Amino acid sequence: MKIAIASGKGGTGKTTFALALFLANSDRSVFLDCDVEEPNAHLFLKGIEKQKDVVQLLIPKVNADLCNQCGLCVKSCQFNALAMAGKAGVLVFNELCHSCGACTLICPTGAIQDVETPVGEISIYDLKGGAEFLSGRLKVGHSAAPAVIQAVKKHPSTTPYTHHIIDSPPGTSCSFVTSVSGADFVILVTEPTPFGLHDLKLAVEGVENLKLPYAVVVNRVREKDHLIKKYCAEKNIKILLELEEDRRVAEMYSKGGTLLEVLPDLKEKLNLLLSDLEDQVGANP
């Protein structure tokens, strides 16, 4: 079972909750840090890195001696990653390339070849008790976050655990879509503020367009009746859990601690939560 933890905006406590859900179920889960532009799970899980793999994309390289400057490659690129530059010939903008291969296929002289180019890396960590987590990191200067996210999700685990808890990037861009796609269930973490509600609506629209089952966790709750609860009631969205605002959580987080260190009784609730989702997904394959 694949559970993606996502949020419409940053700062809602998405990673805090994702880590707590994993730690409460580390005997049956693998953690995937897919927030590849700013991965930080390793700061809290403190595992031992045992392996590092490079993520590569095929980027076109133009042989000026073979290029007749017909411009077909430029016209074929839907992402403006190629441009004609007069006597300089065809320029390739690696950061815009989506590795679709169209330019290579359409080139009549064979002047374009696809070259493997590193765009990120995946680190695999061992944790106490036999658990494992994977962390993706996008290479500085590259914008191919979805490719690194896909590589993390496809990377084989060395543990027998079949539950994958995916910490998704914040927001609702391509990275969000890539991380939640294929998930059996999506948990949207939000906060009871106007900004939180606005971005939750965007995230809800995204997962509904992808036709994924989802529910909400509300973090930093100050009062019983709040705007997120009203919105979820109107939309008939289930709230799985409400976490009260607690300064101790922020203090522990700043020291590299986790939610369960402040609220150890939460472990049982999160254990049951995963079991309930397991039953729900099993009942609705």
Q: What DSSP line would sit under 121-133, residue for residue?
A: EEEEEE-GGG-EE
How many Cα atoms sit within 13 Å of 182 on the Cβ side?
A: 10
As a whole number, mean pLDDT of residues 266-281 equals: 94
Give 81-123 pLDDT, tens digit per residue: 999 998 889 999 988 898 999 999 999 999 999 999 999 999 9
Q: How far apart are CA 179 and CA 187, in angstroms?
A: 12
- The pLDDT of residue 284 is 66
Q: Please give the sequence-ordered ranges of beta strands (E in DSSP) within 63-200, or none if there are none.
A: 82-84, 90-92, 112-126, 132-138, 163-167, 185-190
62 within 8 A of 138, measured Cβ to Cβ: no
84 within 8 A of 75, measured Cβ to Cβ: no
- In terms of phi and psi (left: phi > 0; alpha: psi -120 to 50; beta: otherwise), the region of 186 is beta
As a whole number, mean pLDDT of residues 246-270 equals: 94
- The pLDDT of residue 157 is 85
pLDDT category at 224 given cuts 50, 70, 90 is confident
Q: How far apart are CA 16 and CA 191, in angstroms?
A: 13
- The pLDDT of residue 283 is 61
What 3-state class would DSSP assign to 162?
coil
- The pLDDT of residue 85 is 92
Give 211-221 pLDDT, tens digit per residue: 999 999 999 99
Q: How far apart are CA 176 and CA 185, in angstroms?
A: 14
Mutual orientation of helices 227-235 and 194-209 as an angle, nearest 10°?
A: 30
Q: How far apart are CA 276 and CA 105, in angstroms?
A: 49
Residue with more model confidence, 283 or 181: 181
Give 6-22 pLDDT, tens digit per residue: 999 999 999 999 999 99
Which residues on adjacent β-strands are paired with residue 237? none
Give this prediction's pTM.
0.91
H/E stretch holding 241 reads: strand 239-244
12: tokens are 């809602």
Give 24-48 pLDDT, tens digit per residue: 999 999 999 999 999 999 999 999 9
Neighbours of 186 (CB within 10 A): 25
Residue 143 has pLDDT above 90, yes or no: no
As a whole number, mean pLDDT of residues 59-69 equals: 94
- The pLDDT of residue 185 is 97
Residue 174 has pLDDT above 80, yes or no: yes
Q: How far apart are CA 181 and CA 143, in angstroms?
A: 19
- In terms of phi and psi (left: phi > 0; alpha: psi -120 to 50; beta: otherwise), the region of 53 is beta
Q: Who's near 266: CB < 8 A, 6+ residues apart? A: 20, 24, 259, 260
CATH topology for 2-54+127-283 is Rossmann fold (3.40.50)
Instruction: Please report, for the chain, the start and end positions of each structural domain, with discontinuous segments joined by +.
Output: 2-54+127-283, 64-110
Which CATH number does the domain 64-110 belong to among 3.30.70.20, 3.90.550.10, 3.90.1170.50, 3.40.50.300?
Answer: 3.30.70.20
